Amino acid sequence: MIRAKTSRLVLIVPLLLSVVLASCASIQRSQDQGTVRQVANLINSGDSSRLASLSASPFLLDGEIVPLPADVASFWQGIAKAGFRVEGAALDKGAPVGAESYRDFADTMEVKSFFGRYVKDGTRVLELTTNAGTRIRLLTRSQWFSWKILGFKGPF
């Protein structure tokens, strides 16, 4: 009797662990999709002040470091005034930042230094696609129950 229960337990435990691990990956993807949706909605509605408040300083814009919060706010105001939209934005891929992630923005010493100094654990590179077929990369970091935008690249 004990032997039968032990053998069942040996079979059930790995199954439960695989279910838990699979759900962790789907939870992360769901969070990434939510971040993409929120950023896209803010861009499409022209809410530059909210985008600026969600953005970190310094901020990585394509391959350039924007050091001042006022300049980050000017970037978001500029794209709103230009009528920039990301219609039909959808998460293509999301990944935690690794040693070579800086190359997703620019393969320069400046960007590598930015990643080394300002990009902490929990930061993710999110790549989204739009209805027009363009791509945008976001550098985001979760902070408790909120998140920050550390970088933006695109459209490309």
Cα separation, 102 vs 19, whole angstroms: 33
Task: Kindly report the number of other CB atoms within 10 A of residue 96's CB atom.
Answer: 11
Distances (CA, A) of 58 to 4, 27, 62, 85, 154: 60, 29, 13, 24, 18
pLDDT recorded at residue 14 = 47
pLDDT recorded at residue 10 = 53
Burial string for 26-43 (b: 16+ CB within 10 Å, else e) reads: eeeeebbbebbeebbebb
pLDDT in tens, 98-117: 999 999 999 999 999 999 99
Per-residue pLDDT band for 146 (boundaries 50, 70, 90) equals: confident
Per-residue pLDDT band for 13 (boundaries 50, 70, 90) equals: very low
pLDDT in tens, 116-133: 999 999 999 999 999 999
pLDDT recorded at residue 26 = 86
Per-residue pLDDT band for 17 (boundaries 50, 70, 90) equals: very low
Task: Give me the CATH code for the 2-153 domain, please.
Answer: 3.10.450
Is 90 within 8 Å of 126 (Cβ atoms)? no
Place of tokens 């209805």: 131
CA 129 distance to own-chain centroid: 13
- Domain edges within the chain: 2-153
Of 26-30, 41-45, 96-100, 140-144, the one with minimum mean pLDDT is 140-144
Q: Is 116 left (phi over 0), alpha (psi -120 to 50) or beta?
A: alpha
Place of tokens 């990956």: 25
pLDDT recorded at residue 6 = 58
pLDDT recorded at residue 135 = 97
pLDDT in tens, 49-86: 999 999 999 999 999 999 999 999 999 999 999 999 99
